[in-house]
Amino acid sequence: MPIVKIDGKEIEVPKGTTILQAARMLGKEFAPPAMCYYSSIKGTGGFCRTCLVRVSKSSAQNPNPMPKLVPSCKTEVMDGMEVESYSNPQVLEARKGVVEFLLLNHPLDCPICDQAGECKLQDLAYEHGAAKGRNEFKRREFEPIEIGDKIKLHMNRCIHCYRCVKLADMLAGKERVHGMIHRGENSEISTYIQNSIDHEWSGNVIDVCPVGALTDKTFRFKSRVWFTNPMDAHRKCDKCCGKVRLWLKGQEVLRVTARPSNEYGEVTEFICNECRFEKKKISDWVIEGPSKIDRHSVISINHYEHLNQLKVEAMKHQKALGFIPFDKRP
Ligand code: SF4
Ligand code: FES
Q: Which CATH number covers residue 67?
A: 3.10.20.740
For residues 205 and 242, membership in a common domain is answered with: no
Q: Which CATH number covers residue 183?
A: 3.30.70.20
Distance from residue 232's CA to the centre of ligand 2 (Å): 30
Instruction: Kindly report, residue by residue over 106-138, the tens digit of the pLDDT.
Output: 999 999 999 998 899 998 998 888 888 888 889
C-beta 157 within 6 A of ligand 1: no
With cut-offs at 50, 70 and 90, classify the pLDDT of residue 326.
very low
Whether the Cβ atoms of residue 34 and residue 112 lie closer than 8 Å to each other: no
**Amino acid residing at 152:** K
Total number of domains in the chain = 3
* Predicted confidence (pLDDT) at residue 298 exceeds the cutoff of 80: no
Q: Which atom of ligand 1 is nearest to the CA of 165?
A: 4
Last residue of a domain, one of 181, 198, 216: 216
Q: Which is it for the CA torsion 22, 9, 31, 36, positive or negative?
A: negative
Mean pLDDT value of segment 7-21:
96
Strands 82-84 and 3-6: parallel
C-beta 210 within 6 A of ligand 2: no
Report which of 89, 78, 71, 80 is spatially closest to residue 32, judged by C-alpha positions.
71
- pTM for the predicted model, two decimal places: 0.86
> The domain containing residue 192 runs over which residues?
110-131+138-216
Give the Å distances, CA to CA, from 136 to 104, 132, 133, 160.
9, 12, 9, 21
Percent of the chain at pLDDT > 90 equals 65
Instruction: Kindly report, residue by residue over 236-266, the tens digit of the pLDDT.
Output: 999 999 999 999 999 999 999 999 988 888 9
How far apart are alpha carbons 119 and 132 in whole angstroms? Answer: 19
Helices in the chain by DSSP H: which ranges?
A: 19-26, 89-103, 120-128, 163-172, 204-208, 273, 303-320
How far apart are alpha carbons 11 and 151 in whole angstroms? Answer: 42
